[in-house]
Amino acid sequence: MCISAQGQVRFEPSGTFDNYNIGVGAGFTTMYGDLQQSGHLPVYMINVSRPLIPIITLALEIQHGAFTSSTPANAWTSGLSETNHFTTVGLNGNLSLSSIIPYPQNAFTKALSSFYVGTGIGVIDNNLTNITDKFRPTDPQTISFDIEKSSITEVVPFNLGFNINLKKFLVEGTRLNVNYELAYAFNDYVDGYSFISNSPKKEYNDIYSILSVGLSFPLGGFKY
């Protein structure tokens, strides 16, 4: 599919992998959950994407990484911490701002037209490999009723990023990507904790973010 100089959308014969890109990237995570402080652990991703039309791209992505967060000693605990090694699979759609600025006239509008916004749907598999199960080490009982070490739930990511074409340095269609993702989970166990109303903090679903840098490479010829 391509858009002609007259603005008409048309289809052209193509090979099986024409217009598909494969991307790899890495970044770090931030957790916004039940504990006060988040660490920043690495995350890695791989995706396959295809433009539906030149301004809208659909991508299937797999992410694997870790979250960590903690609460320091205070009036109600000697300290809490958790580490979650997670995997997500998601389908995302991105809208390029070039649809708003189709003919950039200067460096600023050219840079702005490389940005995109997007959202999608995915599933996250949480595996808590380390979690504090007592408010204080001397407590006779654990807080297992507030903890879930393994869970799977849906997530909705919101993406903002930009692509830089590297055709001057690599093959045509190769892009450098910088992306910020803020994701809302449909349960409160991404960080392993879900404190109920009579605990130190009420229950809310978890949110996390990923800041990443990646490269994408064409698998076939581009038609626009």
CATH annotation of 2-6+23-214: 2.40.160
pLDDT at 13: 41
pLDDT at 2: 40
Decide: 64 and 42 in contact? Cβ < 8 Å. Answer: no
Find the helix or strand (DSSP H, E) in which 82 lies: strand 80-96
Helix, strand, coil percentages in the chain from 3-state DSSP, rounded to 5: 5, 55, 40
pLDDT tens figures, 44-58: 999 999 988 878 899
Q: How far apart are the first and last CA of the chain?
A: 8
The set of residues, in sequence order, having a beta carbon less than 8 Å from that of 51 and lying 6+ positions away, is 1, 19, 57, 58, 224
pLDDT at 8: 39
CA 135 to centroid of chain Cα atoms = 31
pLDDT at 188: 93
- Domains of the chain, by residue range, sit at 2-6+23-214
pLDDT under 70: residue ranges of the chain: 1-18, 99-111, 168-172, 196-203, 220-224
This prediction has a pTM of 0.84
Can you list the alpha helix ranges (DSSP code H) found in 155-210? none
pLDDT tens figures, 79-93: 999 999 999 999 999
The set of residues, in sequence order, having a beta carbon less than 8 Å from that of 117 and lying 6+ positions away, is 94, 95, 97, 158, 159, 160
Integer Cα distance of 145 and 77 in angstroms: 16
CA distances 132 to 82, 85, 112, 144, Å, are 7, 15, 45, 10
pLDDT at 165: 83
pLDDT tens figures, 173-183: 788 999 999 99
pLDDT at 10: 35
pLDDT at 114: 80
pLDDT at 200: 57
